[in-house]
Amino acid sequence: MYNLLKGKKGIIFGALDSNSIAWKVAERAHEEGATFVLTNAPVALRFGTINELAEKTGSQVIAADATSVKDIQNLVDKSMEILGGKIDFVLHSIGMSVNVRKGNHYTNQNYEYTKIGWDISAGSFHKVLQVLYNSKAMNEWGSVVALTYMAAQRVFPDYNDMADNKAYLESIARSFGYFFGKDRKVRVNTISQSPTMTTAGSGVKGIDGFINYAEKMSPLGNATALECADYTISLFSDLTKKVTLQNLFHDGGFSNVGISSEIMEGFMNDKEEDS
């Protein structure tokens, strides 16, 4: 390990179980010398296994519903007390669509569900940033990262209203990142990760197909959760101080490939059989 986060303090949202991307980020941040508070929604604390992670990384857990400004304020205030100072890094690793959960098609949304999903997946990011900003809770050259998916730019029909939520999330990173950069020298970025088998990932219809297709399209293959954690650590470190307002693809090259020879082969064989 490289001691990349030695002495840094953070808040990590979204570790539900050992498959969670946030779980791997917490493990890697611990290895790199950081101290941090873990947080998740009260219901997730009951059903998940976050205490195991807390023990392993010597962290405290504070419950916070990321749609509640009151909960976030309490989390930020208590984290500064526990960690003994301002925060250097924050991971927003939160996503949920009620329409997806209930099996509503994109063209047949229940807008009450749409609002809840938007608030959890995108609005919460603005709330977290706003509380951090107004509380002057971040150290200069701190770094905030949220996780996103390429359905914000291109159509993946079964990603449903999460595609719109991710587009909004990425826009918040730019818009808030401007003020956080100018006024406090804090970076705000999103990482656009390959499809990954986690609780949130497995909620997407046809995730197996997504994963296999992306694997064949990406010159380097899909990025794993652990590799995503490594990339996140680099963005929390002092090695990326001038990277901000970016949506950074971490997908083995998938986002810039039109077609790969592996995918092409399938079509060539079909054609030969037809003729």
Ligand X SMILES: NC(=O)c1ccc[n+]([C@@H]2O[C@H](COP(=O)([O-])OP(=O)(O)OC[C@H]3O[C@@H](n4cnc5c(N)ncnc54)[C@H](O)[C@@H]3O)[C@@H](O)[C@H]2O)c1
Going by the DSSP 8-state scheme, the letter that residue 96 receives in this structure is: -
Alpha helices (runs of H) in 37-123, residue ranges in sequence order = 42-47, 50-57, 69-83, 98-102, 111-118
Q: Give yes or no for residue 120 binding ligand X (CB under 6 A).
A: yes
Structure tokens at 124: 């919460």
- Bin 206: left if φ > 0, else alpha if -120 < ψ < 50, else beta: left
Residue 196: CB minimum distance to ligand X, A: 4
156 to 195, contacts with ligand X by CB under 6 A? 193, 195
**Alpha carbons 10 and 191: distance in angstroms, whole number:** 18
Closest CA to 42 of 12, 65, 22, 13: 65
75 to 104, contacts with ligand X by CB under 6 A? 93-96
Classified as helix, coil or strand, 141 is strand
Q: Name, in order, each residue with C-beta under 8 angstroms of 47's C-beta and a sequence gap of 6 or more.
A: 16
Are the beta carbons of 190 and 171 closer than 8 angstroms? no
Residue 98: CB minimum distance to ligand X, A: 10
Q: Give yes or no for residue 255 binding ligand X (CB under 6 A).
A: no
Are the beta carbons of 50 and 27 closer than 8 angstroms? no
Nearer to ligand X, 70 or 140 (CB): 70
- Exactly one of 201, 216, 217, 235 binds ligand X (CB under 6 A); that residue is 201
Q: Give yes or no for residue 117 binding ligand X (CB under 6 A).
A: no
Q: Name, in order, each residue with C-beta under 8 angstroms of 183's C-beta and a sequence gap of 6 or more.
A: 133
Q: How far is CA 148 from the centre of its chain?
A: 6
Nearer to ligand X, 11 or 34 (CB): 11
Nearer to ligand X, 87 or 98 (CB): 98
- Exactly one of 75, 98, 200, 235 binds ligand X (CB under 6 A); that residue is 200
- Exactly one of 10, 14, 117, 123 binds ligand X (CB under 6 A); that residue is 14
Structure tokens at 94: 């939160």
- Exactly one of 11, 16, 131, 223 binds ligand X (CB under 6 A); that residue is 16
20 to 79, contacts with ligand X by CB under 6 A? 20-22, 40-41, 44, 65-67
Residue 13: CB minimum distance to ligand X, A: 6
Nearer to ligand X, 109 or 198 (CB): 198
Nearer to ligand X, 150 or 186 (CB): 150
Residue 39: CB minimum distance to ligand X, A: 7
Nearer to ligand X, 38 or 268 (CB): 38
Residue 114: CB minimum distance to ligand X, A: 15
Residue 146: CB minimum distance to ligand X, A: 7
The site that binds ligand X (CB under 6 A) totals a number of residues, namely: 27
Structure tokens at 163: 């595609």
**Alpha carbons 57 and 31: distance in angstroms, whole number:** 9
Q: How far is CA 156 from CA 99, 210, 260, in A?
A: 15, 9, 18
| Contact set with ligand X (CB under 6 A) | 13-14, 16, 20-22, 40-41, 44, 65-67, 93-96, 120, 147-149, 193, 195-196, 198-201
